[in-house]
Structure 1
C-alpha cells in the first residue's frame, strides 16, 4: 500500500513505513503536481513549470523522474509512466489524503455521516504542500496558490457543515467554530457564528469578550464589522431557554432548538461531466428556485455580503433556493482547462442532478440569463418559469458596437495587469460599474468579493468567454412563461439588451427598473419593485400590484 500526504508537509509511505523524499524541492513539487493532475503531461509543459532555464531543463526533468521512480513504483507495478513525449503518474491504487477527504465529502454520500465529517476535519493537519513554495516557478506557484485556496475552501465547507449538523449541541459545535475562525480571523461571518454558538451554550460573558475582540480586529484591518456589531442585540436579549432553565437531572443542558427564522445554507459539491468539482448551496424551504451562476460568486462570502445577502434572503423566503459557483469561481475548482459556454452548461446540469431538481423556475442574473435560456430550450420539461434580470443574449464582442468592444478590451487589459494587485483601485473600476450607488461599506465588500472569488487569469478568461456568448437564435424557441427585468441605467449590460430579450422571447413580459445598479441594492425602490414583480410572477399573477405604483412600461 502506497500512501501520499499532501495536507501539511509532503510525505510518502509504503506499507506504513515512511520513505525518504529527495532533497530537491522541485522534485518534490513535481511529485505533488503529478499526484493531483493524473492526465498525461507533455515534457515541454513540465519543463516550463519547473525548469524554464537556459541550460538543460529536459535533463533536469529526467533527473527528477529518476529520483521519483523508486518511490512510487513497486516490483512489477510501474506507476510513473514516461516516454519521450509525455509523463503521467497512475495513482488509482494509491491512498492520497486529499482525495480521501474529497471522497468523504462527496455529495453522492449525502447526507454525509457526522462521524465521516469529523474524520475529514481531522485530516486537515496543515497547509497544502507546506514549505513547497517555488517563487521562481510562476506556473507551479500559481497552481499551488490556487490549490491552497481550494483546500481551504474544502476545509471551510467541512467545518461549516459540521457546525450546522451539530447546531443542536452548541458545545461540540464550538470546537469546530473556533477552528473555522482560525482559517481566517478576518472573516466576519466566522466571528458571528462563534458569538452565536457561545450564546446558545449559555456562555454570555465569553460571547461578549469574543464579540469585542472580533470588532477590534476587523476595525484595525479596515474591514466591515457592521453585522458583527449587530450581534450586540443578541447579547441584550434574554439567554437561550436552555441557559435559563439551568441543568437537567444529569447536569446536562437542555437540547437547543434553533430559531426557524435563523436560516442556514448547506454547501455541497458535485462533479461536472469533465470531473470539475462544482460547489452549490441550498437555503430555505418550499418549491425549488434555481439561480444559474453569474460571474464573481462565492457561496460563503455572498451569504454575509451587504451586496448579495438581501437577494438570498428574499429568494429563499418562500423557496428552496439553489445557487452555485461556476467553474473558476468561488468554492468551485479554479484549476480548469475547459472554460467554455458548453462546459459551464455542464456545471448547471450537474447541479440540477445533484440537487434532485425535477421541475423548477430559473432566475438568471447577468450572463446567467444566457445559461438559463439555453437550459430552458434544451430541457423544456424541467423549466416552469424564466426570470431574466440584467441579462443579455449577445456578449459584448457580439453586439457590433465598436465603442463597447474597445471599452471591454480595455477592461480585459485592466484585469490582466491589475486584478491581483493589493491596491484595490484596479478592482474599484469594476465596482463602480456594477454598483455605482453603493455605500462605502458595500463598495468595500464588492472590491473584496472580486479578490477572493476569482484569480486574475480566470477573471480574464471569463471576461473573454462572456464576450463571445450568443444565444439569440434560442430566444424564439423559449416556450415557458418569461419575465424580463432590466435597470434603465445599467452600466454593465445596456438596457437595450434586456429589451432585445423581451421582444424576441414569445409573450415575455418586460419590466424596466429605475436604477443605475447592475446588482440592485437593498435600500433602493427598484429592489422593492423587483421583489414584488418576481413574487407575483411565480405566484401566477398576470400583473404585479406594484406595476401601477411604479408606472410599468410594458411597451418593448
Structure 2
C-alpha cells in the first residue's frame, strides 16, 4: 500500500472518515462504520484532535477516567480501540499523545473552514453523548461545543447570504431554516429566513413567518423583534414593510422628509416628500395625495431656492383636492395646523 509522510513518521493512507459533529462515527474508505466501544473512547478522540498542543497520558487519564482503578490502563485500552477502528498502528501514540493521522483521513471537526464542508450536516460536538468523565473534561466539552456551534452558525449565515446573492433560493431558504432551528431566539436568523422567502417570491410565507416570530418573541421574551424583521418581508427594497398600511408608510415618509428639512438636510427631505407624493398617487389615495402635495409644495416654496413655481403648483393642486371634498375634515385640520406652524 502507498504511504504518506507526516513529519518523520510514515502513516498508511486510509481514505477513512472521522465524524465528531453529530453522532460520532469512524467510517472506512468504503463508508462502513467501524465499531468503537464506550463513550470515553470518543471523548478521548475529540480531546486529542482539538487540543492546541499534545497532551500527556497522565493528564488525559485523570480527565477521562477519574473513577477508574487503573486510569492509565483504561486510556491504553481506548487508544488501542481507536487504532483498531482506524485500521492502523501508526497514530495516537507516544507520551504526550500525538495524532499523526493519515493525510487523506477526513476529520469533519478540522474542516469547518473549508468551502467544501457540508455545513448542513454539522451537529453538536459528540452529538448527544455525555461521557462520564471529570468536571475538568465536562467544562472543556461545554466550551468546545459552544465554540464550534458559533463557527457553524456563522458559516450557516455566510452560506445563506451567499445563496441569496446568487439567487439559489432553495438552498438559501433551507439554510435559513436550519439557522432558525439552531438559534430560535436569534432575531438575525429569523430575518434571513424571512428575506430568503421574500426573495423566492413566497411573500405570504414570509409575512406568516414574521407574524409567527413576533408571537413567539412576545410570549417567550416579553417583547417584539425589531422593525428589521418585518422590513425583510418587503417585495422590493423600496416597498413598504409587509403588514404596514399604505397610509402609515406614506405618512412616515412625510414625517421623515420634514424631519430632514428641520435638520438642514434639504435634498434628503425633498426626496422623501417626493416619494410620499409618488406612492400616494400610485395607489390613487386622494387624501394622502393632497396632504403629501401640500407638504412638498410648502417645502419647495420655503426651503429650496428657485422652486417656487413648482411649489405653488403643488399647493394649488392640494387646495383644489381639498375644495373638491377629497379630504376628510381631520386632514383639513392637519393642513391648517401645518400651515400655521410655518408662519
Band of TM-score, shorter chain: 0.5 to 0.7
Q: Conserved in 1, the CA contact under 8 Å of 2:64 and 2:134?
A: yes
Aligned to 1:81, what secondary structure does the other structure show?
Answer: coil
Q: Conserved in 1, the CA contact under 8 Å of 2:217 and 2:225?
A: no
For 1:197 and 1:69, the matched residues in 2 are separated by 45
Change (3 A) 1:52 1:223: farther
Q: Conserved in 2, the CA contact under 8 Å of 1:198 and 1:206?
A: yes
2:127 aligns with 130
For 1:70 and 1:234, the matched residues in 2 are separated by 52
Change (3 A) 1:219 1:86: same
Measured against aligned partners, the alpha-carbon deviations of 1:247-299 in whole angstroms (never above 9, x if no partner) come to xxxxxxxxxxxxxxxxxxxxxxxxxxxxxxxxxxxxxxxxxxxxxxxxxxxxx
Are residues 1:78 and 2:74 paired?
A: no
1:183 aligns with 182
Correspondent of 1:240 among 231, 236, 243: 236
1:15 aligns with 29
Correspondent of 1:145 among 142, 145, 157: 142
Q: Alignment RMSD, CA only? A: 2.8
Give the number of equivalent residue pairs. Answer: 222
Q: Conserved in 2, the CA contact under 8 Å of 1:3 and 1:12?
A: yes
For 1:27 and 1:71, the matched residues in 2 are separated by 11
Shift of 1:64: 2.1
1:89 aligns with 99
Q: Conserved in 2, the CA contact under 8 Å of 1:41 and 1:86?
A: yes
2:9 aligns with none
For 1:10 and 1:24, the matched residues in 2 are separated by 11
1:167 aligns with 164
Measured against aligned partners, the alpha-carbon deviations of 1:411-444 in whole angstroms (never above 9, x if no partner) come to xxxxxxxxxxxxxxxxxxxxxxxxxxxxxxxxxx
Shift of 1:187: 0.8
Aligned to 2:180, what secondary structure does the other structure show?
Answer: helix
Q: Which runs of 4+ in 1 moved over 4 A?
A: none
For 2:230 and 2:77, the matched residues in 1 are separated by 61
Q: Name the larger-Rg structure.
A: 2
**What TM-score does the superposition give when structure 1 sets the normalisation length?**
0.36
Q: Conserved in 2, the CA contact under 8 Å of 1:43 and 1:58?
A: yes
For 2:84 and 2:59, the matched residues in 1 are separated by 23
Q: Conserved in 1, the CA contact under 8 Å of 2:194 and 2:232?
A: no
For 1:165 and 1:22, the matched residues in 2 are separated by 38
Shift of 1:224: 5.0
Shift of 1:162: 1.8
Shift of 1:60: 2.0
Are residues 1:210 and 2:209 paired?
A: yes
Are residues 1:4 and 2:3 paired?
A: no
Are residues 1:120 and 2:134 paired?
A: no
For residues 77-476 of structure 1, the aligned pairs below 5 Å read 78-82=90-94, 85-93=95-103, 94-102=105-113, 104-105=114-115, 116=116, 119-124=117-122, 126-134=123-131, 136-168=133-165, 169=167, 171-172=169-170, 173-222=172-221, 224-227=223-226, 229-232=227-230, 239-240=235-236
Change (3 A) 1:232 1:123: closer
Unaligned runs of 5+ in 1: 106-115, 244-556
Change (3 A) 1:18 1:225: same
Q: Conserved in 1, the CA contact under 8 Å of 2:191 and 2:232?
A: no
Change (3 A) 1:43 1:177: same
Correspondent of 2:80 among 57, 63, 66: 66
For 1:130 and 1:30, the matched residues in 2 are separated by 15
Aligned to 2:18, what secondary structure does the other structure show?
Answer: strand
**What TM-score does the superposition give when structure 2 sets the normalisation length?**
0.57
Change (3 A) 1:232 1:22: closer
Q: Conserved in 2, the CA contact under 8 Å of 1:202 and 1:242?
A: no
Change (3 A) 1:204 1:58: same
Change (3 A) 1:234 1:87: closer
Shift of 1:36: 2.9
1:28 aligns with 42
Q: Conserved in 1, the CA contact under 8 Å of 2:17 and 2:27?
A: yes
Change (3 A) 1:18 1:34: farther
For 1:162 and 1:101, the matched residues in 2 are separated by 13
Aligned to 2:47, what secondary structure does the other structure show?
Answer: helix
Shift of 1:87: 2.2
For 2:76 and 2:237, the matched residues in 1 are separated by 67
Measured against aligned partners, the alpha-carbon deviations of 1:451-507 in whole angstroms (never above 9, x if no partner) come to xxxxxxxxxxxxxxxxxxxxxxxxxxxxxxxxxxxxxxxxxxxxxxxxxxxxxxxxx
For 1:226 and 1:122, the matched residues in 2 are separated by 26
